[in-house]
Amino acid sequence: MSPSAAPSASPPAIEAVHLNKRFKDMVAVEDVSFSVPTGSIVALLGPNGAGKTTTVNMLCTLLRPDGGTAQVGGHDILTDPAAVRKSIMLTGQFAALDESLTGRENLILFGRLLGLKKTEAKARADELLDYFSLVEAGGKRVGQYSGGMRRRIDIACGLVTSPKVVFLDEPTTGLDPRSRQDVWTLVERLKATGVTTLLTTQYLEEADMLSDNIVVIDRGRVIAEGTSDQLKARTGSAYCDVTPEHAAELPRLISVLADLLPDAAEPNRLTVSVPAPDGADTLVEVVQRTTQARVRLSDVTMRRPSLDEVFLHLTDPDRNRN
């Protein structure tokens, strides 16, 4: 049995409308609006201090907005916060577990706190341990768990009562690559059961791989929204990656292509990325220049922009001031 039955097609699972939050003189969130379709994964992407966690805390009723409102799981966060809390699960950057208890005991404890009878809590704990591939680890104390196992059992605790909407606030922060992959697999499995997930993250790869839609937030405001492909299309049609044959030629290569490069451009290892708004014509220009300058190349390729480049473009301070 899965942790949650798949919800039917319906109005958005989350609908944020003009949310605002201020802490004294600091505006943390300003006029934030977005929606999360039922059964989808939406990534809330932004740098540190952008307002991601504050937005999530308002949606989870941990903070009351100074303006605006939202519907979560069909309930209003202002007029029916208790119903919102019953329909959601929130996990933060740090696992909220009792390290002196085993994984199974933590699950049973959460079940009892959330109103399950003892037999029901035990049955649900065993079900979730099996679902999360933690049966063998279930009898060990959480203090002995790896970071990835702690994160999985933390998320499992939040699924004891089968929430409709899951909030994952930077769930892979501090995890090693294998543990991050385990969490990604888990998020995809939740989607397969119909659970709606709002994921906040600083990891571009994470947002690119997991999300159906991405909301980019910076300085408390939504500055872009769309699929990964739609956001990539906003920064330009393509890039031309140029790699010199010898590392010693890299400074000369940058000099030859200087007027084609954005300000403060830095090579990625031995590769220089040249914006290519003219597509193949830019590639021809690069080849002609390097040939004339006798800079030998080991590789020249055309590619679409990465989500990293989209993010840097959208959150560039100079761009926002203009």
pLDDT (tens, 9 = 90+) of the chain, 322 residues, equals 444 444 445 789 999 999 999 999 999 999 999 999 999 999 998 888 889 999 999 999 999 999 999 999 999 999 999 999 989 998 866 567 889 999 999 999 999 988 899 999 999 999 999 988 889 999 999 999 888 888 888 888 888 888 899 999 888 877 788 888 888 888 898 898 889 999 988 788 888 889 999 999 999 999 999 998 888 777 666 889 999 999 999 999 999 999 998 775 666 678 998 888 787 899 999 999 999 999 999 999 988 777 777 777 777 766 554 4
Q: What is the pLDDT of residue 82?
A: 94
Whole-prediction pTM: 0.76
**H/E element, 109:** helix 103-113
Q: What is the pLDDT of residue 21?
A: 97
From the number of C-beta atoms within 10 Å of its C-beta (0-12, 13-18, 19+), residue 259 rates as exposed
Q: Tell me how far apart the terminal alpha carbons of the chain are, to the nearest angstrom.
A: 53
Under a CB-based contact definition with an 8 Å cutoff, are residues 165 and 72 in contact? yes
Amino acid at position 70, single letter? A
Residues of the chain with CATH 3.30.70.980: 236-304
- Indicate the CATH number for domain 14-232: 3.40.50.300
Residues of the chain with CATH 3.40.50.300: 14-232
Q: What is the pLDDT of residue 243?
A: 94
**H/E element, 111:** helix 103-113
Q: State which fold the 236-304 domain adopts.
A: Alpha-Beta Plaits (3.30.70)
Q: What is the pLDDT of residue 302?
A: 87
Q: How far apart are the C-alpha atoms of 272 and 241, rounded to whole Å?
A: 6
Q: How far apart are the C-alpha atoms of 116 and 126, rounded to whole Å?
A: 14
Q: What is the pLDDT of residue 298?
A: 93
Q: What is the pLDDT of residue 317?
A: 63
Q: How far apart are the C-alpha atoms of 196 and 200, rounded to whole Å?
A: 13
